Amino acid sequence: MAQVIRVYTKVPGKEPDMTRPFVLPRGSTVLDLAVSIHKDFSKTLKNARIWGSARFDGQSVPREYILQDKDIVELHV
């Protein structure tokens, strides 16, 4: 089993960018993704919406949500 996951991001109201995934260690959270994008996101991140591993597409999840391979994440700061 791979020890890393690929996570894609999207801007609210736009299509996800499926060309450049963020590669994170397995077990990473929404907050870990936010920090890997920009360290200041950790201070302002409120929640995220997830497509993929969430119970339903576009579900709002907390900062502590554990990401899965190929999730699409929309960050809300």
**What's residue 1's pLDDT?**
62
44-to-7, 35, 63 alpha-carbon distances in Å: 20, 11, 11
**What's residue 43's pLDDT?**
87
pTM of the prediction? Answer: 0.92
Q: Count CB-CB contacts under 10 A for residue 62.
A: 12
d(CA 63, CA 54): 13
Per-residue model confidence as pLDDT tens digits over 28-43: 999 999 999 998 888 8
d(CA 25, CA 5): 6
Domains of the chain: 4-76 (3.10.20.30)
Per-residue model confidence as pLDDT tens digits over 10-69: 999 999 999 999 999 999 999 999 999 998 888 899 889 999 999 999 999 999 999 999
